[in-house]
Amino acid sequence: MKTKRLLWVLVFIAVINSMGFGIIIPLLYPYGKKFGVTEQTIGLLTAAFSIAQFFATPVLGSLSDRFGRKPILVFSLIGTAVSFVMFGLANSVVMLFAARILDGLTGGNISVAQAMVSDISSPKDRAKNFGILGSAFGFGFVIGPAVGGLLNNFGMKVPFFFAAAVAVIGVLLSQFLLAETNKHKDDKESAEKNKFSFAALITVLKMPVIGTAIFTGFLLTMAQFTMIIGFQTFSTDELKLNPTQIGLFYAGFGVTGILMQLAVPAIKKVISSQALILILSTICCLGMMTLAGFATGLALFAVAIGIYGLFNGLRNPMLNAIIADHNDEAEHGKVMGVNQSYASIGQTLGPITAGLITAVSIHSVFFLSSLYILIALLFSLRLKAKENKS
């Protein structure tokens, strides 16, 4: 019962946290234009968060191993709230960059929440619980842009202050409703072991199963964020959809992933191997992304993106469960932090490479995404072999 209560508190925190993030993302460019943000600098503004997060999340994860998950989660949410307030009060591009960097440096929310799920879940329930947490983050991202769009009618600064208030609610919930899940935080031997070094970004990748899982996740994340650039350009330039239609279309993509994550318990009853589920879902993603590259009209494109979104929803629950199953309990925070670091770099490199290849054609973006998925498929096959060996 205690595990279920902790999980649902985490789920609620995940929804309001990701909703706050979802509120501001579509508004970054129109808001930043007032201070001189251009089509080129918006990419740098977005990348600033991911680069800061790359270095910060493994540090925060290690600190959560040493001092507990709860204080680090509270610290991360406070940083998010402050960054949103800075956006609302911004009067220059420099302040916008400072706000995004601060949010990245304190952005341990996802990795710490994942470490907490690892702490409270038995091996047989890990994939299911990661699926529930992932669907909560996904739900927040889906409804966030809609909330931001509505609040924008009351003034461009209003969504940022609202997002800050949402993050403060997360702080209060974490402080007063969430119990500490790290049983090893007072263990001196574990504390010595978990002193962080940036060498962990490399040493963790050398772990046979965990390293392969993290790199597979990095490739699949890069593929998804490459696809998002293709999705935006194809929907606008080829399909001639308006911003509202694109928003609804993208929301549908998010909903398919949420539905699949909620279906993880049923899928696990049919296929027990998490690595095998990952392989099958990656094959489906590869087929649909390739199909999207050949699409010329809305119907075929919508089917391809919809089915891709469905099976892409299985990526994080399976990979996170595999990582947690092969990880020392005392290092959940560090390893989940490193995992999130590589995901953040995937989120940066995907759009950059997609932007470069659009010079060839819009369709080539989907084929580039397919290439990343194909490489990820080869690594997922290797992951299955290493998991069997271990």
Give CA–CA dist 366/368, Å, rounded: 5
The whole-number pLDDT of residue 371 equals: 97
Q: Tell me which of 138-147, 262-271, 273-282 is least confident.
A: 138-147
- Indicate if 281 and 320 belong to the same structural domain: yes
- Indicate if 174 and 323 belong to the same structural domain: no
- Indicate if 165 and 227 belong to the same structural domain: no
- Indicate if 208 and 353 belong to the same structural domain: yes
pLDDT at 193 over 60: no
The whole-number pLDDT of residue 1 equals: 46
Give the sign of the dihedral formed by CA 342, CA 345, CA 346, CA 347. positive
Q: How far apart are the first and last CA of the chain?
A: 32
Report if residue 269 sits inside a domain: yes
Report if residue 186 sits inside a domain: no
Give the helix/strand (H/E) hosting 192. helix 188-193
The whole-number pLDDT of residue 24 equals: 76
Closest among 247, 213, 253, 243 to 342, alpha carbons compared: 213
Distances 72 to 82, 95, 115, 139, 225 between C-alpha atoms, Å: 15, 25, 11, 23, 28
pLDDT at 9 over 50: yes
- Indicate if 289 and 365 belong to the same structural domain: yes
- Indicate if 114 and 38 belong to the same structural domain: yes
Report if residue 188 sits inside a domain: no
Mean pLDDT of 267-274: 90
pLDDT at 11 over 90: no
Report if residue 50 sits inside a domain: yes
- Indicate if 212 and 154 belong to the same structural domain: no
Categorise residue 207: left if φ over 0, alpha if ψ from -120 to 50, beta otherwise.
beta
Most confident of 122-131, 219-228, 237-246: 219-228
**Residue 237 or residue 318, greater confidence:** 318
Most confident of 2-16, 194-208, 216-230, 330-344: 216-230
211 lies in which domain range? 197-389
The whole-number pLDDT of residue 280 equals: 96
pLDDT at 281 over 90: yes
Scored b (16 or more CB within 10 A) or e, 344-362 reads bbbbbbbbebbbebbeeeb
- Indicate if 76 and 213 belong to the same structural domain: no
- Indicate if 148 and 235 belong to the same structural domain: no
List the structure tokens of 211.
């390293």
CATH label of the domain that carries residue 239: 1.20.1250.20
Mean pLDDT of 370-377: 97
Q: With 0.85 as the threshold, say if the pTM is over it.
A: no
- Indicate if 140 and 202 belong to the same structural domain: no
Instruction: Give the DSSP letter string of 246-299.
Output: HHHHHHHHHHHHHHHHHTHHHHHHH---HHHHHHHHHHHHHHHHHHHHH--SHH
Structural domains in the chain (count): 2
- Indicate if 224 and 164 belong to the same structural domain: no
**How high is the mean pLDDT of the chain?**
85
